[in-house]
Homo-oligomer: A and B are copies of this chain.
């Protein structure tokens, strides 16, 4: 971590720098908007492809950088898909409270879930075994109603 917040110029002047805000770039906006449009979780590669289709291609590295940054800001969630790929989902600026997800395995559609009971349970378990700095992951996967219906139709075609 570099030393920020205080800058001494070659002329000897001393200036106070406000919280060094990050620059607003078109690429950053594009990534954010694509992520926000997607209904469920999508991978960095998905987003990269979507941007290319939209006719405003953004470098893959840049996509990764912005996704990371959004996660740090709490504006996006990451979960590791079952096959180990990181997938991201936009969380409105306001929705940054702690929560969990109910994710459709087929289409990625996601419902946000909060449950006081689970939080308390996790804390209780931890204190029971004398663990501290506790954190937890809770994700529920399944097949949503629309996807189930689609699957049924396909089965009939056979």
Interface residues on A, range: 20 to 34
| Total copies of this chain within the assembly | 2
105-158 of chain A: CB within 8 A of chain B: 105, 111, 113, 115, 117-118, 121-122, 125-126, 129-145, 148
25 A-B pairs with CB atoms under 8 Å apart are A80-B80, A80-B84, A84-B84, A84-B85, A102-B125, A102-B126, A113-B125, A117-B117, A125-B140, A126-B140, A126-B142, A131-B140, A131-B142, A132-B148, A133-B142, A133-B143, A134-B140, A134-B141, A135-B141, A135-B142, A136-B138, A136-B139, A137-B137, A137-B141, A138-B138
Q: Would you list the 6 A-B pairs with minimal beta carbon distance, nearest first? A: A131-B142, A134-B142, A80-B80, A130-B145, A136-B140, A133-B143
